[in-house]
Chain A
């Protein structure tokens, strides 16, 4: 009896606890702790440094205003598009919607690269503009704060679009019908009824865009660093290159603080939104606004917009990939496949593909496995302390990836355990980054598995491991597979973590594309990016098919 009365679930919990401590808690603690350390003693010197040098505190201010501007633009654009696609009789809405979401399936630094190709000096659109209007130079500069806000908006407005479109779809149509019955005009209804009701969704989406912009590295790195315009993420990158760990950790702590504050806001809005009983889960179809005379003009305008935002960057990337050199006139003579040929034989690219596939597959597998264990303990076993475990595992969700990379350097790049320069340190960082996604997916999967199914297994005489093997895991399998792909795909295209942690021989796809672009090999970067893009879009289609359109980017 003594052997059997020991609850093996505590063994599982201890193992998961140790994992989370090593991967999440200890590294992040190192960031915070080291930011208050100077030559081995506690001090505020690093923070003093941040606030006494304009180049550092400006990075903080830049981060905040760039993210605010991005969020504002995203809210306007996302809300407008959501209204058009959900609430009007615009033709071809389904296709528009699919195309709108497309850019988000690609990593943000691909977008930066594509927009440099389009709008940069010698860019396709820039040259077209000069030809058509006869200017000597284009009146914009993509390598600037404005350029950063532009590309961030193009990349993140979809977050507002999705939340607002969802709220509009769930809204009770009778509220608007009541206003109409009271004699309100369509415009009045939109202004006075609909807009206030979806305002929480607009705010929530705006905050998501804010957090995304704040944590983004690729876009400000490719567009800002050349113009010596720094935000927090790029400053941290810079501070690590010096290297000044005190500075890097102080900047990181401030970045995390801003992210946490905005997340607290977002949480507050979500809570407030749930009080809005009018937006229920009911399947009532809100009426469609008849656009009448402006239907086709508006359709043309929207189509133009979607082509501009979603199709052009992809076309530009593919076009650059098949050009002899970027900036050459687009003629048949200048088209070539040599870039693809080069990429396929380029050793670093081959290595990077293998590395990314390995990292993505292992990270997805381990994260889903650990995620399932944590979810099982939290959702099913409900042991004491599992709530804390679940919370600790979801912390990295609030932490920008730059900071996670630094945390790994601080925790696992020093003796006795020095993983620096190996794939393992990137793997550990990926695990921290993707564990929250894994836990959230498995949590919702296991919540759908009724408790009595496990209890029946207990009553049948099944001990913990047979129970997990025969009942819990098979029932959770569909959710686990979807979750696996949801981790694998972003890991495949990851840049921010790997650019800070890679060494010779441990490059990832993102690192190679970034370095090629940064070193001026734009056509080769574009060729590699095009291949990855094709794979990502294909993968995304598979996910949407697998999950019935629920998941995907």
Chain B
């Protein structure tokens, strides 16, 4: 059962297109993220779902309810949508105590006092704020305010929970902790979540599925593993995780097997569905490169940095600088002359500027 369904959503401000042709759906109990750089339109989409912005085109369903339709002139106001929402700055009302903040949605429903108090107790327990009920927001830390906002969003038992970069104002340690708490909370309550973030680690770690957005459009929808290992295009490849790009040329192709040439004379066989030919770029994850004294492509270690669970290198090969991450089995010193092996690579179309460089290199 789909809990949120967005069909062909577009939002324009005058000439500026904030979102265009956005289509996706969020399933029951699903944690779904919208990921992209700032200004890509992800918050606009979320705000359309919340009813805080009116779409220029498209349809939105929340559960069974048709909340937006241009054709039927439907735009259900936010206050009538079955949503809970947490804002980037928490938006905890400073003139109300923690108790009153969280109880507010129930008071609006004019529930009996006892019912409100029972539900409130549960909510405070869920987010671990029992002891702070009578405090004012100014007496709370950022993390605690965050929990108040979360409890307030959940208490009216909405069909979906909308989260707009809720962790971006927290410090690194707390962010990490809240990430697990959020995920855990969702498991326990089973509430579908639509989550907006620009932080790819956050999105990969928490989501069941995510949509990567760029310039107002969805570029790819999939599970974190899908998107990491099979980025749909060069933008996604670059945005998610680390990626090395090397200009190359496709020499020959046999179905899905392509042979590319790069760094002058080096050749590599790549599994590729794109059907590209001619100039292209080879994209390689740092962990898909291995270093050994005998590797086929000569390189020199420029920077070697120890980061606990792995070693992070910058190596120079044929004039290009590549990021390489290896397990801690062998540690090479800066300045070491080595060879590298590319174990897995993807092909993407080259950009205009890179074509010139590639040609230049090939002809030299």
- Same complex for A and B? Answer yes
Residues of A within 8 A of B (CB): 1, 4-5, 7, 450, 452-453, 455-463, 466-467, 470-471, 474-475
Contact of B87 among A456, A467, A474 (CB under 8 A): A456
The answer to whether B85 and A461 touch across the interface, beta carbons within 8 angstroms, is no
The answer to whether A456 and B85 touch across the interface, beta carbons within 8 angstroms, is yes
Cβ distance A462 to chain B, nearest Cβ, rounded Å: 5
Residues of B within 8 A of A471 (CB): 93
The answer to whether A461 and B77 touch across the interface, beta carbons within 8 angstroms, is no
Contact of B76 among A5, A450, A455, A475 (CB under 8 A): A5
Bitwise interface map of B from 113 to 132 toward A, beta carbon under 8 Å scored 1, else 0: 00000000000000000000
Q: Determine which residue in A5, A452, A457, A462 has the highest number of CB atoms from chain B within 10 A of its CB, and name it.
A: A452
The answer to whether B91 and A470 touch across the interface, beta carbons within 8 angstroms, is no
Cβ distance A163 to chain B, nearest Cβ, rounded Å: 33
Known contacts A456-B149, A460-B104, A462-B108; 11 additional CB pairs below 8 A are A455-B52, A456-B91, A456-B92, A458-B52, A459-B78, A459-B79, A459-B162, A460-B79, A460-B105, A471-B93, A475-B94
Q: 23 A-B residue contacts at CB 8 Å?
A: A4-B77, A452-B89, A452-B91, A453-B93, A455-B52, A456-B85, A456-B91, A458-B51, A458-B78, A458-B79, A459-B50, A459-B79, A459-B162, A460-B108, A461-B79, A461-B80, A461-B105, A461-B156, A462-B79, A463-B79, A467-B79, A475-B93, A475-B94
B152 within 8 A of A: yes
Residues of B140-156 at the interface with A, using a CB-CB cut-off of 8 Å, are 149, 152-153, 156
Residue on B with the closest CB to A460? B105
Bitwise interface map of B from 69 to 89 toward A, beta carbon under 8 Å scored 1, else 0: 000001111111101110111
Cβ distance B142 to chain A, nearest Cβ, rounded Å: 15
The answer to whether B77 and A474 touch across the interface, beta carbons within 8 angstroms, is no
- How many Å lie between the Cα of A458 and that of B53 in the bound state? 12
Given contacts A460-B104, A475-B94, contact A450 B89 (CB under 8 A): yes
The answer to whether B95 and A458 touch across the interface, beta carbons within 8 angstroms, is no
Contact of A461 among B88, B91, B109 (CB under 8 A): B109
Residues of A within 8 A of B75 (CB): 5
The answer to whether B52 and A456 touch across the interface, beta carbons within 8 angstroms, is no
Contact of A450 among B52, B91, B149, B156 (CB under 8 A): B91
The answer to whether B108 and A466 touch across the interface, beta carbons within 8 angstroms, is yes
Q: Determine which residue in B79, B81, B149, B162 has the highest number of CB atoms from chain A within 10 A of its CB, and name it.
A: B79
Q: Determine which residue in B74, B76, B77, B94 has the highest number of CB atoms from chain A within 10 A of its CB, and name it.
A: B77
Given contacts A453-B93, A455-B85, A471-B93, contact A7 B152 (CB under 8 A): no
The answer to whether A452 and B87 touch across the interface, beta carbons within 8 angstroms, is yes
- How many Å lie between the Cα of A457 and that of B74 in the bound state? 21
Q: Determine which residue in A452, A456, A457, A474 has the highest number of CB atoms from chain B within 10 A of its CB, and name it.
A: A456
Cβ distance B273 to chain A, nearest Cβ, rounded Å: 43
Residues of B within 8 A of A466 (CB): 108
The answer to whether A455 and B87 touch across the interface, beta carbons within 8 angstroms, is yes
- How many Å lie between the Cα of A515 and that of B54 in the bound state? 60
Cβ distance B76 to chain A, nearest Cβ, rounded Å: 7
The 4 lowest CB-CB distance pairs between A and B, nearest first, are A458-B78, A452-B91, A459-B85, A456-B91
Given contacts A5-B75, A461-B108, contact A474 B91 (CB under 8 A): no
The answer to whether A459 and B104 touch across the interface, beta carbons within 8 angstroms, is no
Residues of A within 8 A of B88 (CB): 452
Bitwise interface map of B from 28 to 54 toward A, beta carbon under 8 Å scored 1, else 0: 000000000000000000000011100
Residue on A with the closest CB to B85? A459
Residue on B with the closest CB to A474? B95
- How many Å lie between the Cα of A455 and that of B83 in the bound state? 12
Residue on A with the closest CB to B88? A452
- How many Å lie between the Cα of A452 and that of B95 in the bound state? 15
Given contacts A456-B93, A456-B152, A474-B95, contact A5 B77 (CB under 8 A): yes
The answer to whether A459 and B76 touch across the interface, beta carbons within 8 angstroms, is no
- How many Å lie between the Cα of A450 and that of B87 in the bound state? 11
Residue on B with the closest CB to A467? B79
Given contacts A453-B91, A461-B109, contact A7 B77 (CB under 8 A): yes
The answer to whether A455 and B95 touch across the interface, beta carbons within 8 angstroms, is no
Cβ distance A247 to chain B, nearest Cβ, rounded Å: 49
The answer to whether A459 and B83 touch across the interface, beta carbons within 8 angstroms, is yes
Residues of A within 8 A of B50 (CB): 455, 459
Contact of B77 among A458, A460, A470 (CB under 8 A): A458
- How many Å lie between the Cα of A452 and that of B166 in the bound state? 13
Cβ distance A237 to chain B, nearest Cβ, rounded Å: 48
- How many Å lie between the Cα of A467 and that of B75 in the bound state? 19
Residues of A within 8 A of B74 (CB): 1, 5
Cβ distance A338 to chain B, nearest Cβ, rounded Å: 52
Residue on A with the closest CB to B92? A456
Given contacts A5-B76, A453-B93, contact A470 B84 (CB under 8 A): no
Residues of A within 8 A of B76 (CB): 1, 4-5
Residues of A within 8 A of B79 (CB): 458-463, 467
Residue on A with the closest CB to B78? A458
- How many Å lie between the Cα of A74 and that of B92 in the bound state? 48
Q: Determine which residue in A4, A450, A453, A475 has the highest number of CB atoms from chain B within 10 A of its CB, and name it.
A: A453
Residues of B within 8 A of A457 (CB): 93, 104
Residues of A within 8 A of B85 (CB): 455-456, 459
- How many Å lie between the Cα of A461 and that of B79 in the bound state? 4
The answer to whether A462 and B104 touch across the interface, beta carbons within 8 angstroms, is yes
Residues of A within 8 A of B93 (CB): 453, 456-457, 471, 475
Residues of A within 8 A of B94 (CB): 475
Cβ distance A13 to chain B, nearest Cβ, rounded Å: 16
Cβ distance A421 to chain B, nearest Cβ, rounded Å: 45
- How many Å lie between the Cα of A461 and that of B81 in the bound state? 8
Cβ distance A424 to chain B, nearest Cβ, rounded Å: 36
Residues of B within 8 A of A7 (CB): 77
Residue on B with the closest CB to A463? B79
Residues of B within 8 A of A450 (CB): 89, 91
Contact of B152 among A1, A4, A460, A463 (CB under 8 A): A460
Cβ distance B303 to chain A, nearest Cβ, rounded Å: 39
The answer to whether B153 and A459 touch across the interface, beta carbons within 8 angstroms, is yes
- How many Å lie between the Cα of A332 and that of B214 in the bound state? 88
Cβ distance A25 to chain B, nearest Cβ, rounded Å: 29
- How many Å lie between the Cα of A1 and that of B68 in the bound state? 13
Residues of A within 8 A of B91 (CB): 450, 452-453, 455-456
Residue on B with the closest CB to A470? B104
